[in-house]
Amino acid sequence: MRLFGPKATPLGAAPIEGFDLLLSDLDGVVYRGHLAIPGAIDSLTRAAERARVAYITNNAARTDETVAGQLRGFGLPVTADDIVTSPQAAVALLAETIAPGSRVLVIGGDGLVDELGKAGFEVTRSADDNPAAVIQGFAPDVGWPQLAEAAYALAERPDGSQLPWIATNTDWTMPTDRGLAPGNGVLVSAVHTAVQRLPVFAGKPETPIYEAAFNRFGTRAALMLGDRLDTDTKGARAAGIASLHVLTGVDRPKQLVAASKDMQPDYIVENLDGLHTPYPTAVKLKDGTMQVGTAKVRMDGHVAKVVDEGDSALNLLRAGCMAIWGSGLAIYGLKVPEILYEDHWN
Protein backbone atom coordinates (compact mmCIF):
# COMPACT_ATOMS: atom_id res chain seq x y z
CA MET A 1 0.00 0.00 0.00
CA ARG A 2 1.29 3.43 -0.89
CA LEU A 3 1.59 5.93 1.96
CA PHE A 4 2.78 8.67 -0.37
CA GLY A 5 2.61 9.08 -4.10
CA PRO A 6 0.32 10.29 -6.86
CA LYS A 7 -3.14 11.44 -5.91
CA ALA A 8 -5.84 8.96 -6.90
CA THR A 9 -8.74 9.96 -9.11
CA PRO A 10 -12.02 10.52 -7.24
CA LEU A 11 -14.39 7.68 -6.51
CA GLY A 12 -17.74 7.91 -8.22
CA ALA A 13 -21.03 6.22 -7.43
CA ALA A 14 -21.27 2.45 -7.18
CA PRO A 15 -22.39 0.93 -10.50
CA ILE A 16 -25.79 -0.03 -9.09
CA GLU A 17 -26.68 3.60 -8.39
CA GLY A 18 -29.30 5.14 -10.64
CA PHE A 19 -30.66 1.94 -12.20
CA ASP A 20 -34.15 0.56 -11.68
CA LEU A 21 -33.43 -2.78 -13.35
CA LEU A 22 -30.46 -5.12 -13.38
CA LEU A 23 -30.34 -7.67 -16.20
CA SER A 24 -27.97 -10.44 -15.22
CA ASP A 25 -26.49 -13.06 -17.49
CA LEU A 26 -26.21 -16.51 -15.93
CA ASP A 27 -23.24 -18.75 -16.72
CA GLY A 28 -20.04 -16.90 -15.88
CA VAL A 29 -21.87 -14.28 -13.81
CA VAL A 30 -24.13 -16.14 -11.36
CA TYR A 31 -22.69 -19.64 -11.65
CA ARG A 32 -20.04 -21.64 -13.41
CA GLY A 33 -21.17 -25.13 -14.34
CA HIS A 34 -23.12 -26.48 -11.38
CA LEU A 35 -21.55 -24.21 -8.76
CA ALA A 36 -22.45 -20.65 -7.79
CA ILE A 37 -19.62 -18.16 -8.29
CA PRO A 38 -18.28 -17.17 -4.87
CA GLY A 39 -20.06 -14.08 -3.57
CA ALA A 40 -22.45 -13.78 -6.53
CA ILE A 41 -25.59 -14.90 -4.69
CA ASP A 42 -24.99 -12.52 -1.77
CA SER A 43 -24.30 -9.63 -4.15
CA LEU A 44 -27.46 -10.26 -6.18
CA THR A 45 -29.55 -10.66 -3.02
CA ARG A 46 -28.22 -7.34 -1.78
CA ALA A 47 -28.86 -5.75 -5.18
CA ALA A 48 -32.50 -6.89 -5.11
CA GLU A 49 -33.04 -4.64 -2.10
CA ARG A 50 -32.38 -1.59 -4.29
CA ALA A 51 -33.44 -2.54 -7.82
CA ARG A 52 -35.42 -5.13 -9.74
CA VAL A 53 -33.10 -8.00 -10.66
CA ALA A 54 -33.94 -10.13 -13.68
CA TYR A 55 -32.01 -12.88 -15.40
CA ILE A 56 -31.53 -12.84 -19.16
CA THR A 57 -30.26 -15.85 -21.06
CA ASN A 58 -29.65 -16.98 -24.62
CA ASN A 59 -29.94 -20.64 -23.58
CA ALA A 60 -32.92 -21.99 -25.51
CA ALA A 61 -32.75 -25.56 -24.23
CA ARG A 62 -34.50 -24.88 -20.91
CA THR A 63 -37.82 -23.35 -19.87
CA ASP A 64 -38.03 -20.22 -17.75
CA GLU A 65 -39.30 -22.31 -14.84
CA THR A 66 -36.35 -24.70 -15.12
CA VAL A 67 -33.94 -21.76 -15.02
CA ALA A 68 -35.78 -20.25 -12.06
CA GLY A 69 -35.60 -23.59 -10.24
CA GLN A 70 -31.85 -23.74 -10.71
CA LEU A 71 -31.44 -20.21 -9.31
CA ARG A 72 -33.68 -21.03 -6.34
CA GLY A 73 -31.37 -23.96 -5.68
CA PHE A 74 -28.54 -21.45 -5.27
CA GLY A 75 -30.64 -19.49 -2.78
CA LEU A 76 -32.08 -16.75 -4.99
CA PRO A 77 -35.84 -16.14 -4.42
CA VAL A 78 -36.85 -16.01 -8.10
CA THR A 79 -39.85 -17.10 -10.14
CA ALA A 80 -40.28 -17.75 -13.84
CA ASP A 81 -41.42 -14.13 -14.24
CA ASP A 82 -37.87 -13.03 -13.36
CA ILE A 83 -36.38 -14.98 -16.27
CA VAL A 84 -36.12 -13.50 -19.78
CA THR A 85 -35.12 -16.09 -22.38
CA SER A 86 -34.23 -16.05 -26.05
CA PRO A 87 -37.16 -18.40 -26.82
CA GLN A 88 -39.53 -15.82 -25.33
CA ALA A 89 -38.06 -13.12 -27.55
CA ALA A 90 -38.08 -15.42 -30.59
CA VAL A 91 -41.73 -16.38 -30.12
CA ALA A 92 -42.65 -12.71 -29.69
CA LEU A 93 -41.03 -12.03 -33.06
CA LEU A 94 -42.86 -15.00 -34.53
CA ALA A 95 -46.18 -13.63 -33.30
CA GLU A 96 -45.51 -10.48 -35.33
CA THR A 97 -44.70 -12.53 -38.41
CA ILE A 98 -47.30 -15.29 -38.82
CA ALA A 99 -50.96 -15.81 -37.96
CA PRO A 100 -52.02 -16.91 -34.46
CA GLY A 101 -52.20 -20.68 -34.04
CA SER A 102 -49.99 -21.39 -37.04
CA ARG A 103 -47.94 -24.56 -37.28
CA VAL A 104 -44.23 -23.99 -36.62
CA LEU A 105 -41.30 -26.29 -37.36
CA VAL A 106 -39.15 -26.44 -34.21
CA ILE A 107 -35.44 -27.11 -34.32
CA GLY A 108 -34.59 -27.15 -30.63
CA GLY A 109 -35.79 -28.29 -27.24
CA ASP A 110 -38.12 -27.66 -24.33
CA GLY A 111 -37.48 -23.94 -24.08
CA LEU A 112 -38.90 -23.30 -27.54
CA VAL A 113 -41.71 -25.85 -27.32
CA ASP A 114 -42.88 -24.42 -24.00
CA GLU A 115 -43.00 -20.81 -25.25
CA LEU A 116 -44.71 -21.79 -28.50
CA GLY A 117 -47.39 -23.61 -26.50
CA LYS A 118 -47.95 -20.60 -24.26
CA ALA A 119 -48.42 -18.44 -27.35
CA GLY A 120 -50.90 -20.85 -28.92
CA PHE A 121 -48.78 -22.07 -31.82
CA GLU A 122 -48.83 -25.64 -33.08
CA VAL A 123 -45.52 -27.51 -33.04
CA THR A 124 -44.22 -29.86 -35.70
CA ARG A 125 -40.89 -31.57 -36.22
CA SER A 126 -41.34 -32.30 -39.93
CA ALA A 127 -41.04 -30.07 -42.98
CA ASP A 128 -43.69 -32.29 -44.61
CA ASP A 129 -46.35 -30.85 -42.27
CA ASN A 130 -46.44 -27.57 -44.20
CA PRO A 131 -45.25 -25.28 -41.39
CA ALA A 132 -45.75 -21.53 -41.60
CA ALA A 133 -42.30 -20.77 -40.17
CA VAL A 134 -39.13 -22.30 -38.75
CA ILE A 135 -37.83 -21.47 -35.29
CA GLN A 136 -34.38 -22.64 -34.20
CA GLY A 137 -32.58 -22.79 -30.87
CA PHE A 138 -29.98 -24.91 -29.16
CA ALA A 139 -30.70 -28.31 -27.64
CA PRO A 140 -28.06 -30.99 -26.98
CA ASP A 141 -29.87 -33.54 -29.12
CA VAL A 142 -30.09 -31.38 -32.26
CA GLY A 143 -28.26 -33.19 -35.03
CA TRP A 144 -28.23 -33.74 -38.77
CA PRO A 145 -31.83 -35.03 -39.08
CA GLN A 146 -33.23 -31.90 -37.40
CA LEU A 147 -30.97 -29.53 -39.35
CA ALA A 148 -31.98 -31.27 -42.58
CA GLU A 149 -35.68 -30.73 -41.77
CA ALA A 150 -34.97 -27.03 -41.37
CA ALA A 151 -33.19 -26.92 -44.72
CA TYR A 152 -36.07 -28.72 -46.45
CA ALA A 153 -38.63 -26.30 -45.02
CA LEU A 154 -36.55 -23.20 -45.76
CA ALA A 155 -35.78 -24.05 -49.37
CA GLU A 156 -36.94 -21.41 -51.81
CA ARG A 157 -40.26 -22.33 -53.42
CA PRO A 158 -40.91 -22.31 -57.17
CA ASP A 159 -42.68 -18.95 -56.87
CA GLY A 160 -39.66 -17.46 -55.09
CA SER A 161 -41.28 -17.29 -51.65
CA GLN A 162 -39.53 -18.43 -48.48
CA LEU A 163 -40.69 -19.35 -44.99
CA PRO A 164 -39.85 -17.01 -42.12
CA TRP A 165 -36.89 -18.27 -40.11
CA ILE A 166 -36.21 -17.06 -36.56
CA ALA A 167 -33.27 -18.20 -34.46
CA THR A 168 -32.80 -17.61 -30.76
CA ASN A 169 -29.15 -16.56 -30.78
CA THR A 170 -25.80 -16.53 -32.54
CA ASP A 171 -23.50 -17.81 -29.76
CA TRP A 172 -20.67 -19.73 -31.41
CA THR A 173 -19.72 -21.47 -28.17
CA MET A 174 -21.37 -22.53 -24.95
CA PRO A 175 -19.67 -23.40 -21.66
CA THR A 176 -19.93 -26.92 -20.29
CA ASP A 177 -18.32 -28.71 -17.36
CA ARG A 178 -15.68 -30.05 -19.77
CA GLY A 179 -14.97 -26.73 -21.53
CA LEU A 180 -16.38 -24.74 -24.44
CA ALA A 181 -18.58 -26.62 -26.90
CA PRO A 182 -20.24 -25.55 -30.18
CA GLY A 183 -23.22 -23.28 -29.58
CA ASN A 184 -26.37 -22.43 -31.49
CA GLY A 185 -24.50 -20.19 -33.91
CA VAL A 186 -22.69 -23.25 -35.27
CA LEU A 187 -25.98 -25.09 -35.81
CA VAL A 188 -27.56 -22.05 -37.47
CA SER A 189 -24.50 -21.75 -39.70
CA ALA A 190 -25.00 -25.33 -40.93
CA VAL A 191 -28.54 -24.51 -42.07
CA HIS A 192 -27.40 -21.15 -43.46
CA THR A 193 -24.83 -22.92 -45.60
CA ALA A 194 -27.53 -25.19 -46.99
CA VAL A 195 -30.16 -22.54 -47.71
CA GLN A 196 -27.92 -19.53 -48.42
CA ARG A 197 -29.71 -17.06 -46.16
CA LEU A 198 -29.72 -16.04 -42.53
CA PRO A 199 -32.52 -16.03 -39.97
CA VAL A 200 -33.76 -13.15 -37.87
CA PHE A 201 -32.09 -13.41 -34.46
CA ALA A 202 -33.89 -12.73 -31.17
CA GLY A 203 -31.30 -13.16 -28.41
CA LYS A 204 -28.23 -11.23 -27.34
CA PRO A 205 -26.62 -9.24 -28.91
CA GLU A 206 -29.76 -8.44 -30.89
CA THR A 207 -32.30 -6.10 -29.30
CA PRO A 208 -35.56 -8.16 -29.20
CA ILE A 209 -34.58 -9.92 -25.96
CA TYR A 210 -33.84 -6.57 -24.34
CA GLU A 211 -37.09 -5.08 -25.58
CA ALA A 212 -38.92 -8.06 -24.08
CA ALA A 213 -37.30 -7.26 -20.73
CA PHE A 214 -38.08 -3.53 -20.93
CA ASN A 215 -41.71 -4.26 -21.77
CA ARG A 216 -42.09 -6.78 -18.96
CA PHE A 217 -40.51 -4.69 -16.22
CA GLY A 218 -41.69 -1.29 -17.40
CA THR A 219 -38.36 0.53 -17.51
CA ARG A 220 -35.33 1.15 -19.72
CA ALA A 221 -33.21 2.41 -16.80
CA ALA A 222 -31.30 -0.86 -16.86
CA LEU A 223 -27.77 -2.13 -16.30
CA MET A 224 -26.58 -5.31 -18.02
CA LEU A 225 -24.34 -7.62 -15.98
CA GLY A 226 -22.32 -9.91 -18.22
CA ASP A 227 -19.11 -11.81 -18.87
CA ARG A 228 -19.14 -11.89 -22.69
CA LEU A 229 -18.41 -8.82 -24.75
CA ASP A 230 -19.85 -10.15 -28.02
CA THR A 231 -23.27 -10.91 -26.51
CA ASP A 232 -23.83 -9.15 -23.17
CA THR A 233 -21.95 -5.89 -23.75
CA LYS A 234 -22.62 -5.60 -27.46
CA GLY A 235 -26.31 -6.28 -26.88
CA ALA A 236 -26.53 -3.71 -24.10
CA ARG A 237 -24.95 -1.04 -26.28
CA ALA A 238 -27.30 -1.89 -29.15
CA ALA A 239 -30.26 -1.58 -26.77
CA GLY A 240 -29.04 1.76 -25.45
CA ILE A 241 -28.31 0.69 -21.86
CA ALA A 242 -25.21 0.60 -19.68
CA SER A 243 -23.18 -2.54 -19.10
CA LEU A 244 -20.95 -3.99 -16.41
CA HIS A 245 -18.34 -6.60 -17.30
CA VAL A 246 -17.43 -9.07 -14.58
CA LEU A 247 -14.13 -10.97 -14.66
CA THR A 248 -15.60 -14.28 -13.53
CA GLY A 249 -16.50 -15.72 -16.91
CA VAL A 250 -15.49 -16.00 -20.55
CA ASP A 251 -13.89 -12.73 -21.66
CA ARG A 252 -10.64 -11.81 -19.96
CA PRO A 253 -8.38 -8.72 -19.86
CA LYS A 254 -6.94 -9.52 -23.29
CA GLN A 255 -10.41 -9.33 -24.84
CA LEU A 256 -11.21 -6.15 -22.91
CA VAL A 257 -8.22 -4.12 -24.12
CA ALA A 258 -8.96 -5.29 -27.68
CA ALA A 259 -12.71 -4.55 -27.55
CA SER A 260 -14.16 -2.66 -30.50
CA LYS A 261 -16.36 0.36 -29.82
CA ASP A 262 -19.56 -1.66 -29.91
CA MET A 263 -18.25 -4.01 -27.20
CA GLN A 264 -16.77 -1.62 -24.63
CA PRO A 265 -18.46 -1.88 -21.20
CA ASP A 266 -19.16 1.06 -18.91
CA TYR A 267 -17.80 -0.75 -15.86
CA ILE A 268 -15.15 -3.43 -15.35
CA VAL A 269 -15.26 -5.26 -12.01
CA GLU A 270 -13.55 -8.28 -10.52
CA ASN A 271 -16.80 -9.88 -9.31
CA LEU A 272 -20.36 -8.87 -8.49
CA ASP A 273 -19.25 -7.26 -5.23
CA GLY A 274 -18.16 -4.46 -7.56
CA LEU A 275 -21.82 -3.59 -8.09
CA HIS A 276 -21.86 -2.06 -4.63
CA THR A 277 -18.38 -0.52 -4.54
CA PRO A 278 -17.76 3.15 -5.45
CA TYR A 279 -16.27 3.16 -8.95
CA PRO A 280 -13.11 5.19 -9.65
CA THR A 281 -13.46 7.90 -12.24
CA ALA A 282 -11.25 7.98 -15.32
CA VAL A 283 -9.43 11.30 -15.79
CA LYS A 284 -7.62 12.45 -18.92
CA LEU A 285 -4.51 14.43 -17.95
CA LYS A 286 -3.11 17.35 -19.96
CA ASP A 287 -0.61 15.15 -21.82
CA GLY A 288 -3.32 12.68 -22.82
CA THR A 289 -2.53 10.16 -20.10
CA MET A 290 -5.55 8.28 -18.78
CA GLN A 291 -5.60 7.87 -15.02
CA VAL A 292 -7.85 5.57 -13.00
CA GLY A 293 -7.13 5.51 -9.29
CA THR A 294 -3.35 5.94 -9.29
CA ALA A 295 -2.77 3.86 -12.44
CA LYS A 296 -1.75 5.81 -15.54
CA VAL A 297 -1.54 4.74 -19.18
CA ARG A 298 -0.74 6.93 -22.20
CA MET A 299 -0.81 6.28 -25.91
CA ASP A 300 2.39 7.35 -27.67
CA GLY A 301 1.32 6.95 -31.26
CA HIS A 302 0.59 3.25 -31.69
CA VAL A 303 2.33 2.30 -28.42
CA ALA A 304 0.46 1.92 -25.12
CA LYS A 305 2.81 3.07 -22.37
CA VAL A 306 2.35 2.32 -18.68
CA VAL A 307 3.22 5.58 -16.95
CA ASP A 308 2.37 4.30 -13.47
CA GLU A 309 1.21 0.80 -12.52
CA GLY A 310 -0.66 2.30 -9.58
CA ASP A 311 -1.78 0.37 -6.55
CA SER A 312 -4.40 -1.82 -8.24
CA ALA A 313 -4.13 -4.29 -11.12
CA LEU A 314 -7.81 -3.70 -11.80
CA ASN A 315 -7.35 0.07 -12.09
CA LEU A 316 -4.37 -0.49 -14.38
CA LEU A 317 -6.60 -2.62 -16.62
CA ARG A 318 -9.29 0.08 -16.53
CA ALA A 319 -6.78 2.82 -17.36
CA GLY A 320 -5.31 0.74 -20.17
CA CYS A 321 -8.73 0.15 -21.65
CA MET A 322 -9.63 3.83 -21.47
CA ALA A 323 -6.36 4.87 -23.14
CA ILE A 324 -6.56 2.26 -25.90
CA TRP A 325 -10.28 2.72 -26.54
CA GLY A 326 -9.89 6.49 -26.59
CA SER A 327 -7.15 6.32 -29.22
CA GLY A 328 -9.61 5.21 -31.87
CA LEU A 329 -6.91 2.91 -33.28
CA ALA A 330 -7.49 -0.72 -34.22
CA ILE A 331 -5.93 -3.09 -31.70
CA TYR A 332 -4.02 -5.09 -34.33
CA GLY A 333 -1.98 -1.97 -35.13
CA LEU A 334 -0.98 -1.29 -31.52
CA LYS A 335 1.91 -2.32 -29.33
CA VAL A 336 0.48 -3.22 -25.93
CA PRO A 337 2.66 -4.30 -22.99
CA GLU A 338 1.66 -7.62 -21.46
CA ILE A 339 1.23 -6.06 -18.02
CA LEU A 340 -1.91 -4.29 -19.29
CA TYR A 341 -3.72 -7.52 -20.11
CA GLU A 342 -2.19 -9.84 -17.52
CA ASP A 343 -4.98 -11.96 -16.05
CA HIS A 344 -4.92 -11.72 -12.26
CA TRP A 345 -8.50 -12.98 -11.90
CA ASN A 346 -8.57 -16.36 -13.64
The sheet that has 165-167: what strands, in order across it? 122-124, 103-107, 133-136, 165-167, 200-201
Cα(265)–Cα(239) distance, integer angstroms = 13
Question: Catalytic: 64?
Answer: no
Out of 25, 64, 171, 230, the active site residue is 25
Q: Which of helix, strand or coil describes residue 282?
A: strand
> Is the distance from CB of 335 to CB of 304 less than 8 angstroms?
yes
Cα(119)–Cα(127) distance, integer angstroms = 21
Question: Catalytic: 27?
Answer: yes
Cα(325)–Cα(82) distance, integer angstroms = 34
Out of 27, 64, 171, 232, the active site residue is 27
| Diameter over CA atoms, the chain | 78
What are the helix (H) ranges across 18-141? Answer: 40-47, 64-73, 86-95, 110-118
CB atoms within 10 A of CB 176: 11
Active site residues: 25, 27
